[in-house]
Amino acid sequence: MLGATGATGRKVVERAQALGHDVVAVSRRQQQEVPPSAMVTRFTGDVRDRLSLMPAFAGADAVISCIGPDSNLKPGNLMSVGISNSLAACQASGVRLFIMQSGIMLTDGADLSAFDRWALRLVHLVFRKAIADKAIAERAVRESGLSWVIVRAVGLRDLPAGKNYVAGPDARVALLRPLPFADCADCLVRAATNEGSWTGKIVNVGRV
């Protein structure tokens, strides 16, 4: 699990454990955010350094990425470089399934309401660079030769899990209606464990 200290990643670690999965939690620094547990191995790695990821990936059934840049307004190239390195580390380690947390702002709008398509144009103006970097990352996932699921989330908030979210390929979600981090995490764990029909698909997750 990449990005285990982040707002979504912490919830992924929690949810995966609650469902009985062992987790290797990867991030660059000491992980006070990830409580010690018999089911969690905390691991220091940097997605800019492919070799640093390989010991963490050895023996894993799937890798979930919740990495993100510090700011979507100054995104740099973390997603394009980090996801490419993570895919290469999966290939070298024999991991077959890769789940990437992405954003609904990557959609072309065909699956949104007319109002949301209009709002999306503004979002694209503001987050142009972040979208461009994530688009490169998404393409690398699609062309990796691995089994994959790209999960495009709406804006996320620190709210209690609602469990009333919608998720699926082409699911119509409300662009501006925030989703709890925990619900997005639940969707990511489902993608990694028991939603075989999502493999090779882009899945939207949000609320109606």
Ligand X SMILES: NC(=O)c1ccc[n+]([C@@H]2O[C@H](COP(=O)([O-])OP(=O)(O)OC[C@H]3O[C@@H](n4cnc5c(N)ncnc54)[C@H](OP(=O)(O)O)[C@@H]3O)[C@@H](O)[C@H]2O)c1
d(CA 70, CA 114): 31
Give 77's contacts (C-beta < 8 A, 6+ positions apart).
133
d(CA 86, CA 140): 10
Q: Whose Cβ is closer to ligand X: residue 97's or residue 156's?
A: 156
Which member of 29, 74, 121, 163 binds ligand X (CB under 6 A)?
29
d(CA 9, CA 202): 19
Which member of 1, 66, 99, 120 binds ligand X (CB under 6 A)?
66
Total residue count of the chain as it appears in this document: 208
Q: Whose Cβ is closer to ligand X: residue 26's or residue 146's?
A: 26
Stretch of residues binding ligand X (CB under 6 A), selected from 1-9, 14-22, 117-125, 167-175:
1-9
Q: How far is the CB of 106 from ligand X (least distance, A)?
A: 9
Q: Whose Cβ is closer to ligand X: residue 159's or residue 208's?
A: 159
d(CA 150, CA 190): 12
Q: Is 189 in the site for ligand X (CB under 6 A)?
A: no
Q: Is 8 in the site for ligand X (CB under 6 A)?
A: yes
Q: Is 48 in the site for ligand X (CB under 6 A)?
A: yes
Which member of 15, 24, 25, 27 binds ligand X (CB under 6 A)?
27
- Residue 156's φ and ψ, nearest 5 degrees, are -110, 150
Of 122-181, binders to ligand X (CB under 6 A) are: 153, 155-156
Query: Could you tell me if 94 and 55 are in contact, meaning their C-beta atoms sit under 8 angstroms apart?
Result: no
DSSP letter string over 136-170? Answer: HHHHHHHTSSSEEEEEEE--EES-------EEEET
Q: Is 63 in the site for ligand X (CB under 6 A)?
A: no
Q: How far is the CB of 39 from ligand X (least distance, A)?
A: 19
Q: Is 112 in the site for ligand X (CB under 6 A)?
A: no
The closest alpha carbon to 124, from 72, 191, 81, belongs to: 72
Interacting residues toward ligand X by CB under 6 A: 2-9, 27-29, 46-48, 66-68, 72, 78, 82, 101, 103, 153, 155-156
